[in-house]
Structures are given as C-alpha cells and as structure tokens.
Structure 1
Amino acid sequence: MEVQLRVRDAKSNKPLAEIKGFTPTSTIRDVKLWYHQLNPKFDINRISFKAEQRGKTLKDDQTLLNAGVSFNGELYFKDLGPQVGWTTVFLTEYAGPLVVYLLFYIRPSCIYGPAAANQTYSRVVNIAAGCWTFHYAKRLFETIFIHRFSNATMPITNIFKNSIYYWGFAAFVAYFNNHPLYTLPKFGDRQIYGGLALFVFAELGNFSVHLALRNLRPAGSRVRKIPYPTLNPFTWLFKVTSCPNYTYEVLAWVGFSVMTQSLPAAIFTLAGFYQMAVWAQGKHRNYLAEFRDYPKIRTPIIPFLL
C-alpha cells in the first residue's frame, strides 16, 4: 500500500512538498534521499524529519510505520545546518589542548618573561605535562582507532564551541601549572604520587570502557546494545553505572587536580563533571526508554547516587 505524505517546515509549518511512492516499510533515510534529490542544496546529513512539529528527530533506520506516520500523514522538515564529520571535530578538540599545554610548558618569554625558560622545573610540573600529554594523545588515538560513531556528522558550529572550551581551559590550567612561581603540593610526594596513581588508574579504566563499547557496535552499523561488564575488571563498573567512561574521566581529572594542587585544574574538573553528568543522564534515559530489560540498579555516572 502506497503512503502519501506532506512535508512541512518544522518552524513555520509551511507546506514544502508532497511525498508519493513510498510504502509503510520505507525508512526515514529513504525519505531523506528523496528530499535531497528534490533539494540538492540540502546534504543528506543536514536533513532532519519529525513526526510532530515539536517532536523528536526520527532515526534513519525507522520505518514510516514505526515512526507513527499515517498513510495520509505529515513529516516536519528541519535543516540542521552545515555539518562536519565527528572525527574532524574530535581531532580538532583534542589536538588543540595538547599543543596549547605544551606551548606553556616551554615557558615562552612572551608570557612568563625572558628568564622563565632558564628556571628549574619541579618534578610535579614535568609529571603533570606528561599526564596531560598522555590523556590527549590517548583521546586522539581513540578517535582514530577506537570510537565508532552512530552519526556521521554534527553541526559545524560545535567545532568552534567545543574548541573554545577545550583550548581555553588548556591555556587556563597550563598557565598556572607551568608558571615559574608555581607552588608545590602541600603534602609533597605522598600527594603527588597518590594523585598520579588515581590518574593512571582512571585512564586505564576509561580506555577499557571505550574498548568494551566499541565491541558492542559492528563497524559501519548503528546497532545499539546494552553494555555489560566483560572479563576486564575495569568494566565491572557497568554493573552500577550507565556511563563508567565518564566516571573514570572525572576520576582522572580529580587525580590530576590533587597531584598538582591546582585550583584551575579543579575548576576544569568541576566543569567537566557537570557536562558529563548531563550527557550521562541523557544516555541513561535513552537506555531505559529503548531497553525494557535495562538494569534498574544502574545510575548515570556516580554509583547509587547520580
């Protein structure tokens, strides 16, 4: 049976086109391809459809029947704007903080004065630079070789917004951590190596969780499954949290902040925790809505609390 649909603008409700020739088993992606041919100026990645004017964006693999679109119904079109690949965004986000921090680490005279580069570096400053470098080098490695993205692109404006956040905080933290007048941690080696141990532990946990998540999704697919612990002990946090990768990420920066006794690093940690908590809560809600047998004991990011 043929489905006849009207396409309206999601903002103005203005009629845009009429759709013919589709069946109830046709997917939203099929409609996107058709709309792209009708309006070539809209790349398929910037086309979004909704079943209701203020409803949620429909997924590409949803059929018209599953989307709740009737045989004489309507779809609402939204232009997502210019897009850029996720990999490009992440490479830009993560390469920037790595370069920015190391620029401050060499203590350029234009920032710290001509005599700064000749002053001795304390051990914790060198360790902190190594930890920062390791973290963002790991992120770059994961972006290229580990992560599998469900969407090919994201709005190009995000690359500027996210870069300002990551690059700006990198400069803020690096300026004080590498300053010639930097004050050593109050409790000396115990504090430095205690924080370092937590940082390394959390980085290994974060990487382990990313590997586990990668193995859930076959290459080139958008398959979604419930993540469960594997034989790797670092993944056992899946028993009580939906997003243990964020849990480990926050712990890593807590360790970094303790190790350096740095207020800017602590502020960066709090800002990151807030954002990751928001993301984790969103993903947790999606898991609960999508999977009826999703473990009820899990919380988004902090076991048993949040």
Structure 2
Amino acid sequence: MASKIALTVEPRGKPIRGLPKEIMIDLDNSGEELHSIIAKSSGCSVHRLRITKGSDRSAVPNTKDVTIDDIGLRNSSVIHVKDLGPQIAWRTVFIIEYLGPLLIPALFLFPLRPLLYFNYDKPLPDPSDTQLLVCALLTIHFLKREYETIFVHRFSNATMPIRNIFRNSAHYWALAGFNIAYWVFRPNSAAASATPNTALVYGGVALFVFSQLANLNAHFILRDLRRPGTTERGIPSGFGFNLVTCPNYMFEILAWLGVFLVSQLNLSVLLFALVGGVQMWSWAWKKEKRYRKDFGEKYKKKRTVLLAYIC
C-alpha cells in the first residue's frame, strides 16, 4: 500500500489565490500528478505553475516518469509554488515568430516598395531577377519553418510566458524581416543589378537547397527520438550528428550563407546569420553538456557543437 505524506505548500513570489497550505500525496504519485493536484486546488492552470523543492530550490518536473519518492520529497517537506503568469503555447509562439519574415519580404518588394524607397528617382525600377530570387528563398525558408512547427516539432515545454513573445518575435521580424528586406530590395543594392555575379547566385542557391534539405532531415531525426507526449530523448545519430552536437543549427547557418551569396554579399543577411549563430552556439553547448550528463559514457563527446571543425 502506498505511503501518504503531507507536503507544506508555500507561494513563491506573488500570492496565489486558493493555494492550499498543505496537501496529502502518495510517494508513488508522479510529478505530473503533484502539479495536477496543486492546479486543481488553487484553480490555476497547470502550465502557469513552477514547483520547486524548498530544500534546494530544484524544480519538481511536471512528468509522469518520476515519482514523489524519486524527487526526494518526504513527510513535512516544503515545496514552493510560483505563478508564471499568462501562458501561450510554444507552437503558437513559433508560428507568430516566423509569420513576420514570411510576409515582410514580399510586402517590401511589391506593395510597399514606393513608400519605402520614396527618396529614389521615379519611376522606381522593377525588382531585379536576383531580388525576386532572394524573396523566393526567404519565403521558402520560413514556409518550411512554419511546416516544421505545425507538423514536425515536438516541444518539451507546452507553454511559455506570453510576455516573452514580443522579445522572441523581435529577432525574426526586425532582423530577418525588416532588416534584410529593406537593404537587399533597395533600387541601388548589389542585388538590384541586371548583371549579378552568377557564381554567387548559383553557388548560393546550391548551398541553400542542400542545407534546407539537410536541416529538415536533422529535424526529423530529432523528432523521432522523442515519443509523442513525452520529454524523453535518445542519443541522436545520422547525417551531421557525427560531426557536431546540433547539425540542424549548422545547416541553418549554411542556408543563410547561401542567401548571403545570392544577395550579392549583402551585409544585412550576414548580420542576421551572425546574431542567430551566436545564440545557436550557446544553445548547442548547453545541449552538449546535457547529453554528456544524461547519457554518460554512452555518448560520444563532440569537440565542435555548431560548425564542424570550427566551433
């Protein structure tokens, strides 16, 4: 028969209306069940709750894979409950993030063109073939992102604080949308030339196509490591994973280098790739450390986590 224990519940941060001061729970109940009990008792959405142990402030995972006993909670243990505020689904966040740079290039290139470039001689020249090609590549890239968000990715966290959507979207809307579209589609940009460097165009398109397909393949590999409805992962293997920790990031950067080449080396594209690359390098190292911790000797350590033989 399961042993029941009493947990002392304390709010962390602002008070939570209806939060009980004590709950009874079985040692063989899961972390997910603890979250559900607290959510039901307090009337707060389970996605808004962060529960930590009072002893060491470590998080109590919202999962069915670990029990209260595994977590180390005992009779009279203290748990802290924090209200994370209004939440939004991660899938929705990504859809909104990518929607801006999906629509902005075509808007800048066509209906908004006369307004954006009002200080250039009239009539404005029609967009060049290279500018049209860059617009097509940007559209393809972010359509692929939306497809992966809806049909491929499985998210370890269901939601995030809704206030963060503005910060997250700024990177894509400003740097990938407004920044690239404005500078590449200017009437006097290098991409506007009727005689672009064809080696850059063909080389850039080839690199873009290869990288997009390789990136998609990496995302399918990562998706298949996680069973639906769980956060459990296996050790990833396959094309690119023998070289770096996160080949999906590597191929993402290579795809943007392809756009950079096609744009005739427009620095706005390079700026976006560099800013994104620094962030992805940080994420990749965190993932490498987590793989080493979670899988131990079973995991073959990587010396380069983002770009093969470089970093």
Kindly state the Cα deviation for residue 34 of structure 1 after the two structures are TM-superposed: 1.3
Alignment of 1:103 with 2:107, yes or no, is yes
Alignment of 1:266 with 2:275, yes or no, is no
Alignment partner, residue 61 of structure 2? 59
Structure 1, unaligned runs of 5 or more: 230-235
RMSD (CA atoms):
2.4
Query: In the comparison of the two structures, how many residue pairs are matched?
Result: 298
Deviations along 1:173-204, whole A, 9 cap, x unmatched? 10011111112489710112112211111111
Residues 129 and 227 from structure 1, CA distance in 2 versus in 1: closer, same or farther, beyond 3 angstroms? same
Alignment partner, residue 281 of structure 1? 285
| TM superposition score normalised by structure 2 | 0.88
User: Which stretch has the larger CA shift, 45-54 or 31-40?
Assistant: 45-54
2:220 to 211, 214, 221: 211
Kindly state the Cα deviation for residue 304 of structure 1 after the two structures are TM-superposed: 4.5
Give the conservation status (yes or no) of the 8 Å contact 2:215–2:248. yes
1:32 to 26, 32, 35: 35
Alignment partner, residue 165 of structure 2? 159
Deviations along 1:191-224, whole A, 9 cap, x unmatched? 1211221111111111010111111222223221
C-alpha distance in 2, partners of 1:222/1:160?
26
Residues 162 and 215 from structure 1, CA distance in 2 versus in 1: closer, same or farther, beyond 3 angstroms? same
Alignment partner, residue 136 of structure 1? 142
Deviations along 1:54-89, whole A, 9 cap, x unmatched? 634322123222222233312121222110011111
Alignment of 1:178 with 2:185, yes or no, is yes
Kindly state the Cα deviation for residue 298 of structure 1 after the two structures are TM-superposed: 5.5
SS in 1 for 2:29: coil
Paired residues for 1:163-242 under 5 Å: 163-169=169-175, 170-184=177-191, 188-229=197-238, 236-242=239-245
1:3 to 2, 5, 28: 5
Residues 101 and 116 from structure 1, CA distance in 2 versus in 1: closer, same or farther, beyond 3 angstroms? farther
Give the conservation status (yes or no) of the 8 Å contact 2:97–2:168. yes
C-alpha distance in 1, partners of 2:102/2:215?
18
Give the conservation status (yes or no) of the 8 Å contact 1:284–1:299. no
Give the conservation status (yes or no) of the 8 Å contact 2:4–2:24. yes
Alignment of 1:246 with 2:249, yes or no, is yes
C-alpha distance in 1, partners of 2:123/2:226?
48
| TM superposition score normalised by structure 1 | 0.89
C-alpha distance in 2, partners of 1:134/1:175?
18
Give the conservation status (yes or no) of the 8 Å contact 1:109–1:115. no
SS in 2 for 1:75: strand
Give the conservation status (yes or no) of the 8 Å contact 2:124–2:187. no
Alignment partner, residue 74 of structure 2? 70
2:93 to 86, 89, 93: 89
User: Which stretch has the larger CA shift, 241-250 or 55-64?
Assistant: 55-64
C-alpha distance in 1, partners of 2:171/2:221?
28
Deviations along 1:202-260, whole A, 9 cap, x unmatched? 1111101011111122222322111111xxxxxx2111322111111111112211221
Alignment partner, residue 294 of structure 2? 290
| Structure 2 counterpart of 1:131, one-letter code | L
Residues 298 and 238 from structure 1, CA distance in 2 versus in 1: closer, same or farther, beyond 3 angstroms? farther
2:156 to 143, 150, 153: 150
Deviations along 1:145-187, whole A, 9 cap, x unmatched? 1111122111111211111221111101100111111124897
C-alpha distance in 2, partners of 1:304/1:52?
44
User: Which stretch has the larger CA shift, 142-151 or 265-274?
Assistant: 142-151
Structure 2, unaligned runs of 5 or more: none
Residues 117 and 282 from structure 1, CA distance in 2 versus in 1: closer, same or farther, beyond 3 angstroms? farther
Q: Percent identity, aligned pairs only?
A: 33
Give the conservation status (yes or no) of the 8 Å contact 2:51–2:82. yes
Kindly state the Cα deviation for residue 53 of structure 1 after the two structures are TM-superposed: 6.7
Give the conservation status (yes or no) of the 8 Å contact 1:4–1:73. yes
